[in-house]
Structure 1
Amino acid sequence: MTPTGADEGKGFLYRLYSSRLRRQLTPETVPHHVAMMIDGNRRWARQSGYRSVADGHRAGAAKMHEFLRWCDDLGIQVVSLYLLSTDNLTKRDSQELADLIEIIAELAEELSHEPGWRVQHVGRAEILSPDLARVLRTAEERTAGNTGLHVNLAVGYGGRGEIVDAVRSIIAKHQGQGGSLEELAASLTPEQIGEHLYTGGQADPDLVIRTSGEQRLSDFLLWQSAHSEFYFVEALGPDLREVDFLRAIRDYATRDRRYGS
């Protein structure tokens, strides 16, 4: 068989397996909210022989756009993507960070033109470059009335910082209403904090996926993921395949969620 025929055969088997995985899923077993931590873009660029890690970040962004279409096709309603942490803003070298900011801005612009999708920025806009903050704000405004796939873009995001911001917001609101700190301390509930998070009003993620084989949260959705299921994929971010995603959803569907009990 020629190499072309081998590639075609492999494609046929892949599609067959993908269809089989899809048939194993039902709307009742598909998660409502999936959070994705794409990791391994820099390693992918180095292993692929690229001179710049920006090529890895660009490939990772393209994969995330593809990933969102997989989610939409499967009926998932909310997806949160971890794109740029507060740590990234201080620990990445200046050129890599500049490239990454440009790539994220391009991705946000692209997603805001997807029919029916709603884009929301979660993170601290004030610590971002003015241009990136503007692009994210424009994407939010352009898609505000959409009711399709809800896409959270975690940019300038840190889970600990989010909790701090939520508590500060609660204190400011309580003081504005003339309440004392003693009254607030006596009445404060987890539900109140949840309402003041960047994702306030949204359901918490059912499933958190991370690529590249790393098994840590890296300050992502710390509060929201208290009862989430986790799935770790060995593939580097740009190499993620739809069958990897479908396997994650199938695995989630078989779990007995105990919600901390």
Structure 2
Amino acid sequence: MNKPLDYIFPNPPEGLNLGALDLDNIPQHVAVIMDGNGRWAKKRAMNRLKGHKAGIEAVRETIRCASDLGVRYLTIYSFSTENWKRPQDEVVGLMDLFAKTMLAEVDGLHEENVRVRTIGDLSALPAETREAFEEAWQKTRNNTGMTLVVAVNYGSRQEILNAAEACVRRALARAAEGEDPTVALTEADFARGLYTADIPDPEVVIRTSGELRLSNFLLWQVAYSEFVITDTLWPDFDRYEFLRCLLAYQGRDRRFGAVK
């Protein structure tokens, strides 16, 4: 982080103390379950897609703030494997929105040295959407700043099943080579088959709109993550809400099962 706090947070609300943020305790990986777009739109008598469009600014704001603070990985849950069950017009609109937003934002992200990658099964996405994400990855893959991880068509249970299958395939390959296939499996062995094999587990998971569930998100990876829940609907989430979440995280005593 090479930008002063008063630059990142130029107009803090009354009562929000920037000095309380410990810059030596910024999580390297923050995961966000972005929730509340539909409710935000309903409160304003708009259709749900208008809420999703309104949430784009919150995504921009969070990316900028996280990058400026020195977060190394920011994972945003944008579309789950279960979201295909939503009304067809909403799904089609979301896929179009993903493509247009990614193409519109990638140059700016590249200039900010942000690397963009995805987790999930992109093969099921419409070609235009899939190509937009792939273009963003190709353009930014050599960047050295924060990695923006977009979870799209992502489901953690399927990810875990894929990792288990990979372990079985490795065991069969050992057997074919005349080696012992029953070698004890370690957590590290299993994690090699996850989408996030080269990404550290998130220290903190933020969920907006007050909901208290994981929604099939990073079930393996969040075993010891801290959870911060805010009632703020995602389109209203800004850098100051992000700051509040980081302060809440920093106020936790992380023991990892040990007694202190």
Q: Same fold (TM over 0.5)?
A: yes
Distance 1:109 1:260 in 2: 44
What secondary structure sits across from 2:223 in the alignment?
helix
Amino acid in structure 2 at the alignment position of 1:98: V
Q: Matches of 2:45 and 2:80 in 1, distance apart?
A: 26
Match of 2:229 among 229, 232, 241: 232
Given candidates 99, 121, 133, the residue that maps to 1:105 is 99
How far 1:177 moved relative to its partner? 4.5
Partner of 1:61: 56
Sequence identity of aligned pairs in percent? Answer: 35
Equivalent in the alignment of 1:5 = none
Matching residue's letter, 1:160? R
- Report matched runs for 1:235-254 at 5 Å: 235-254=232-251
Match in the other structure for 1:7: none
Secondary structure of the 2:256 match is coil
User: Unaligned stretches of 5+ in structure 1?
Assistant: 1-13
Aligned residues: 246
Name the one with the larger helix percent.
1
CA offsets, 1:143-167, max 9 Å, x none?
Answer: 1100111010000000111111112
- Per the TM alignment, residue 17 of structure 1 is displaced from its structure 2 partner at its CA by 3.8
Contact 1:121 1:136 in 2 (8 A): yes
Matches of 2:38 and 2:239, distance apart in 1: 21
**Aligned position for 2:17:** 21
Find 1:49's aligned residue among 45, 48, 51. Answer: 45
Q: 1:255 is matched with which residue?
A: 252
Within the candidate set 125, 132, 139, 1:135 is matched to 132
* Alignment correspondent of 2:34: 38
Cα distance in 1 for residues equivalent to 2:14 and 2:68: 13
- Opposite residue 246 of structure 1, the aligned amino acid is L
Shift of 1:40: 0.6
Check the 8 A contact 2:175/2:181 in 1, yes or no.
no
- Displaced runs of 4+ in structure 1, greater than 3 A? 16-21, 176-180, 182-186
Distance 1:23 1:136, change over 3 A: same
Please list the CA deviations of residues 177-233 of structure 1 after superposition, one character each: whole Å capped at 9, or x if unmatched: 5458x9445421111111221011111000000000001000001110000000001
Please report how far the alpha carbon of residue 109 of structure 1 lies from its aligned counterpart in structure 2 after TM superposition.
2.4
Going from structure 1 to structure 2, the CA distance change for 1:148 and 1:189 (only over 3 Å counts) comes to same
CA–CA distance in structure 2, aligned partners of residues 73 and 18 of structure 1: 22
For the Cα contact (< 8 Å) 2:174–2:181, is it kept in 1? no
Distance 2:15 2:136 in 1: 34
- TM-score normalized with structure 2 length: 0.88
Could you list the runs of 5+ residues in structure 2 that have no partner in the other structure?
A: 1-9
Distance in 2 separating the partners of 1:156 and 1:234: 25
Please report the RMSD computed on the Cα atoms of aligned residues, expressed in angstroms.
Answer: 2.1
